[in-house]
Every structure is written in structure tokens, then in C-alpha cells.
Amino acid sequence: MRILHTSDWHVGATLKKQPRMDEQVAVFAELIAIAKEEKPDLVIVAGDLFETAAPRADAQRLLVRTLSALRATGAQVIAVAGNHDNGAAIDALRGWADAAGIQLRGTVRGRDNHIITGTTDGGERWTCAALPFVSQRYAVRATELFNLTAAEAGQSYTDHLRRLVAELSASFSPDTINLITGHLTVVGGRVGGGEREAHTVADYAVPATIFPPSTHYVALGHLHRRQRITAAPCPVHYSGGPIAVDFGEETYTPGVLIVDVAVDVPARVRHIPIKAAAPLATLRGTVAELTEATVDERAWLRVYVREKPRAGLREEVQELFPQALSVHIDPSMTERADGKQRAPRAGRTPRQLFAEYLDERGHDDPAVAALFDELYDNVHTITEEVDA
């Protein structure tokens, strides 16, 4: 069978407050064209469907139209919620999705709910364990569906995810193509630029060994860098997103993965680039040097100016580059009171900024950093509805 693996759509995303809906419409039109050309049996969207938990109406329309168009190519479609999504709101769309023949999974609701089966036009049978994002706060509640003992309830996030995956993969058969999709961080994965920091720290990283060797392919989302996890007992891949969501991802090539696999044939994976989105680029130099720079007219720019701050400097740069979304003084031109260069705040995560604050105050206490992670996670985790 053939699978189109994509993830981290972040529909409705902006860049430095710059709307990108027109770009995303073009990107998904190209993605649909790829599906028509490649004719996959199954499309997997591995989480972060939306940029925010409360997406605008135009973002919701684009998601529905894109999933519907992918289904109209003849492919089966499975999509799971990510940490940017409101899982309960995704589940609220399941009435429409079921009628359209699309498999949506927003929250963990019981084993049978997450085992999806099908047969290709060529007669190949497949089973997919579809696991939406599970926060630490809800990991125990999710696994309580499987009758935990008191000791088991006190185990780690990794233990809970291992149990979930084991329960869901228990139905795998040697004569079916066995698939897993999820939105999570796997140990050994390289973080990109746009992931939510609180959900990529060590407490959220699970070992690749949670996936059983009987799995033919694991389609993951969450890490925006396209990559294969090599230390795994089965093929484990992150597809990367179809659009770079911030400047930390400017070197990535957005695209999708096409996977050809059979019961007795190892997965063959190839990357197809998506070119519709505007590229992102960072420029550095003096105003004179920047004047000589050659840039793609389509690109959104981030500019670091190697000059001392002065009135009108930002306006000069923005006149040179109307597509510059941010203009900063290069860190080499600024110093802290102790003579050390002060790192810029732009593009850095709250966790990084808090760590620098503790360092400047001489307060090196891992427990404080861990508490910050927990509080930040609590603030940014959407409360999920759980069936009684």
C-alpha cells in the first residue's frame, strides 16, 4: 500500500503577526495535487492541525476543505490532534468527519476508538493505531481507561505512553500492514524552531522502543524537522510540516513523505517538497552591506543590523526590505553590564529566557526550572473533556 504522511499543518498560523492564510491555501492546494498524482491508499495527518486551540473561522474552513479534498482523491484519511489543538473541539467535528469518511481523533477515549482498519483497492489489509497528543496532566487519566493499579498510576509519562501504545498495538496481525500514528517527542529526535518548548523537554520524550517490532511504519508529528529515528525497532519517521512556521525552520525543505510498504516488504520512504509557501531568510550586516544583499522577492525576512542603535535605523532597513517582518540590532553590538553580550529575546522560548534570568541572578536550581516547566505546561495545555 501507499501512504502519504504529513503533519504539523498549523492552519491559521501567522509570522510576526503577518497573516499567512493565502500561503496556506496555496500550500494545501499543492498537497492535494501531490495526493492526486501519487494516489495514496491512506493519508495520515499526525497532529497540530491548527495553530491555536481557538482557530478562526477561515482556518476551520480551510482544514475541512483540505481533508475533504484529500478524501475525494480516493484515499482513506486519518488525522489526530496535536498539542496546539483543542482535542475536545477536534472530537466535536467527528459527526461531519464520519459522514465524510474521514477518521478524526482528538482525545483518548478507549482502545477500540483508536484502532482503525481498512483494505486497499488492491486487497491489502491494514491496521492503524491512531493516538492524539496526550499531555502529562492527562496521561494517567488516559491510561485509567485500561484499569491501572495504584502503583501503575504513579509511574512516569513514558510508562503511560508505553502502556497506551502496547494496548493499541495488541491487535496487530502478521498478515496485515501495521501502522501507528501519534503526536509526540521521541528520544533522539532533533527539535526544530516552532515546537512548543514545554512539550519537547525531557519529561515528554519517550524512547523509540515503545513501538513494537511488528509495526511496519510509525508516522509521527510534533518535531518540525523531517527526520528518521534510527534507534528504533521499526521504521519511525517525522514528516516535517508543509510550511515553515518560524525563522528557526528557515533551512528546512517543507514537504510530505510518500511511503510504500507491504506485509513482507520494508517501508520505502521518499520526500516530496512543497514549494508554494514563501521561504524564510535571515540577513545580517551593516546598512551598506544589506544594500548589496540579494534576496528572493517572495521571502519573509528577519534582519540583524550590525550597527549601534540610532534613530531611523529600523525605517532605513524596512525601506530596503519591505518584506522584513522583524529588524534587530545584532547581539554583537550590545553588551550586558558585566561586559558579556546579551542574547536577543526574539526567537527564544520562555524556558530559555527564564533559564538566562536564573543564570544572571546566580540561582542555579534545577527544581526551580522544573517547576517553571510544569507551570508553563499547565497554562498551555487545553483542558480536555473526558467521558464519564
pLDDT tops 50 at residue 59: yes
Is residue 267 in a domain?
Answer: yes
Give a yes or no: residue 385 inside a domain: no
Instruction: Return d(Cα 351, Cα 380) in angstroms, integer.
Output: 13
**291 with 264, same domain?**
no
Q: 102 and 242 share a domain?
A: yes
Q: Which of 92-106, 291-305, 330-344 has the weakest average pLDDT?
A: 330-344
Q: Judge whether residue 388 has pLDDT over 60.
A: no
Q: Where are the beta strands (DSSP E) in 184-294?
A: 185-186, 205-206, 217-221, 227-228, 236-238, 255-262, 265-273, 280-285
Residues shown for the chain: 388
Same domain, 66 and 192: yes
Q: What is the pTM of this model?
A: 0.83
Structural domain that includes position 96:
2-273
When pLDDT is cut at 50, 70 and 90, the band that residue 214 belongs to is very high
Residue 369 lies in a domain: yes
Q: Domain boundary residue among 228, 254, 273?
A: 273
Verify that 251 and 374 share a domain, yes or no.
Answer: no
387 domain-assigned: no
Same domain, 136 and 86: yes
One domain for residues 148 and 259: yes
**In the predicted structure, residue 380 carries a pLDDT above the cut 60:** no
- CA–CA separation, 317 and 226 (whole Å): 33
Please check whether residue 242 is in contact with residue 254, taking contact to mean a CB–CB distance below 8 angstroms.
Answer: yes
Whether residue 200 is found in the same domain as residue 335: no
Both 148 and 172 in one domain: the answer is: yes
pLDDT in tens, 155-201: 678 888 898 899 999 999 999 999 999 999 998 888 766 555 544 45
Looking at the structure of the chain, the number of domains it has is 2
Q: Tell me, what's the pLDDT at 203?
A: 66
In a domain, 386, yes or no: no
Compute CA distances 186 → 101, 183, 205, whole Å.
30, 10, 5
Tell whether 333 is covered by a domain: yes
Last residue of one domain, picked from the residues 232, 247, 273: 273
3-state secondary structure of 260: strand
388 vs 35: which has the higher pLDDT? 35
Is residue 328 domain-resident?
Answer: yes
Q: Are residues 292 and 266 in the same domain?
A: no
Domain end position, chosen among 273, 288, 313: 273
Pair 55, 144 in one domain: yes
Is there a single domain that holds both residue 361 and residue 264?
no
Which sign, positive or negative, has the C-alpha torsion 77, 19, 239, 169? negative
Where does residue 147 fall: left (phi above 0), alpha (psi -120 to 50 degrees), or beta otherwise?
Answer: left
Looking at the structure, tell me whether residues 267 and 313 fall in a common domain: no
Residue 105's CATH number: 3.60.21.10
Q: Judge whether 285 lies within some domain.
A: yes
Q: Which of 286, 84, 303, 100 is nearest to 195 (CA)?
A: 84
Give the CB-side neighbour count of residue 87, counting CA atoms within 13 A. Answer: 25
